[in-house]
């Protein structure tokens, strides 16, 4: 069953076409990474799916509710915008209880729900502290908590970790990963490492159009060219740069990058290239310290897909 279904979604702002026939299905219970550069249409898509904006064309449904039925939709979703706003004079406990009141929870139910969520996001010990004194990371955790008050079927997160320091990003991503199976998470971001860390399925959007949707491992297998990494302890009988330039002219080599005493060689066929590279290294006279096939990254997939789109 699809938690989110989008068919030929179009959004225009005057002459600007922010979404250009976007179609997508997101599986129920998954953590979906909505990946694209700034300005690709990620936030516009989320605003439409949460009922905060109207499409210029196309159809979409979330948790079985057609967009446009905002009353029914609001009860089924949670939303954390890129820059969440809070009442700074409230405590974390007061704010979550206030959100519970908006969803019609009784006083006892919202007090219990607020306490459970603050513990879940790691803010239990500061529940009585004023929000104005919270760090950015603490605010993001509180934002996720408020988005979960109504126990949503689908949770929308717009750039949830983009402005955080490494420790804050780690904490927020671990929190998101912990939601797997509890609800469907639709996470918009331009940070490839965040998607690699927590998302099951990835959709790559560029200029308002969906380029590819697949599970992470399927994308890397299909679109990331294999890369060999070679580390040497010295230049031996032949300078590394000269050897890199020589093999870069071979037909099976896609790209060569030299960084100090390390070289990355992107090839078209890993099995055929492996033996050839080992033979070439043996003849080079270089003192090889490490030789390995590097696991393809989502960054390579993204760049390959975008470059392919530009060439078309």
**Last residue within a domain, chosen from 221, 248, 277:** 221
103 lies in some domain:
yes
Residues 217 and 264 in one domain: no
Look at residues 166, 157, 118 and name the one whose alpha carbon lies nearest to residue 141.
118
310 lies in some domain:
no
**Last residue within a domain, chosen from 195, 221, 247:** 221
Query: What distances in angstroms separate CA 90 from CA 125, 127, 175, 180, 230, one per listed residue?
Result: 15, 10, 23, 30, 56
166 lies in some domain:
yes
Residues 130 and 213 in one domain: yes
Question: What's the average model confidence in pLDDT over 131-159?
Answer: 93
Give the pLDDT band (50/70/90) at residue 189: confident
Residues 151 and 97 in one domain: yes
Residues 286 and 185 in one domain: no
List pLDDT tens digits, range 34-45.
988 888 899 999
Number of domains present in the structure of the chain: 2
Question: What are the residues whose beta carbons fall under 8 Å from the beta carbon of 270, sequence distance 6 or more?
Answer: 226, 228, 293
Residues 84 and 193 in one domain: yes
26 lies in some domain:
yes
302 lies in some domain:
no
> What pLDDT was estimated at residue 260?
82
Q: Looking at residue 83, what DSSP letter applies?
A: S
Residues 231 and 214 in one domain: no
What residues make up the domain containing 253? 225-295
List pLDDT tens digits, range 154-172.
999 998 887 788 888 888 8
Give the pLDDT band (50/70/90) at residue 237: very low
Around Cβ 125, how many Cβ atoms within 10 Å? 9
**Last residue within a domain, chosen from 159, 192, 221:** 221
79 lies in some domain:
yes
Residues 10 and 129 in one domain: yes
CATH of the domain at 229: 3.30.70.920
Residues 272 and 200 in one domain: no
Residues 193 and 53 in one domain: yes
Look at residues 166, 160, 125 and name the one whose alpha carbon lies nearest to residue 146.
160
Residues 182 and 258 in one domain: no
Mean pLDDT, the chain, whole residue set: 87
> What pLDDT was estimated at residue 269?
78
> What pLDDT was estimated at residue 311?
60
> What pLDDT was estimated at residue 10?
95
Residues 269 and 204 in one domain: no
Q: Where are the beta strands (DSSP E) in the chain?
A: 2-13, 16-27, 31-35, 57-62, 65-66, 77-80, 154-158, 184-189, 201-206, 209-215, 227-232, 253-259, 262-267, 288-294
Residues 22 and 113 in one domain: yes
């Amino acid at each position: 069953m699809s938690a989110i279904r989008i068919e030929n979604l179009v959004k225009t702002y005057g002459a600007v076409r922010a979404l250009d026939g976007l179609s997508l299905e997101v599986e129920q219970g998954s953590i979906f990474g909505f990946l694209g550069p700034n300005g690709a249409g990620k936030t516009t898509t989320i605003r439409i799916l949460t009922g905060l904006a109207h499409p210029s064309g196309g159809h979409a449904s979330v948790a079985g509710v057609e967009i446009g039925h905002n009353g029914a939709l609001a009860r089924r979703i949670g939303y954390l915008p890129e820059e969440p706003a809070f009442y700074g004079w409230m405590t974390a406990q007061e704010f979550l209880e206030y959100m519970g009141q908006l969803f019609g929870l009784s006083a006892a139910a919202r007090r219990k729900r607020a306490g459970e969520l603050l513990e879940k996001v790691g803010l239990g010990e500061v529940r009585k502290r004023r929000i104005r004194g919270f760090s950015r990371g603490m605010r993001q955790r509180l934002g996720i908590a408020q988005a979960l008050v109504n126990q949503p079927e689908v949770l929308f997160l717009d750039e949830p970790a983009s402005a955080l320091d490494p420790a804050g990003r780690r904490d927020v991503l671990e929190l998101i990963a912990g939601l797997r199976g509890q609800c469907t998470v639709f996470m918009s971001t331009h940070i490839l490492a965040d998607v690699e860390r927590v998302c099951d399925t990835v959709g790559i959007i560029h200029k308002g159009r969906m380029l590819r949707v697949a599970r992470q491992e399927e994308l890397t297998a299909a679109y990331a060219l294999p890369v060999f990494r070679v580390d040497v302890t010295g230049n031996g009988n032949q300078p590394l740069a000269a050897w890199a330039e020589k093999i870069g002219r071979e037909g099976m080599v896609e790209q060569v990058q030299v960084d100090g005493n390390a070289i990355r060689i992107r090839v078209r066929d890993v099995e055929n290239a492996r033996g050839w590279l080992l033979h070439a290294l043996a003849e080079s006279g270089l003192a090889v310290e490490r030789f390995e096939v590097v696991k393809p990254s989502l960054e390579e997939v993204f760049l390959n897909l975008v470059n392919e789109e530009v060439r078309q």
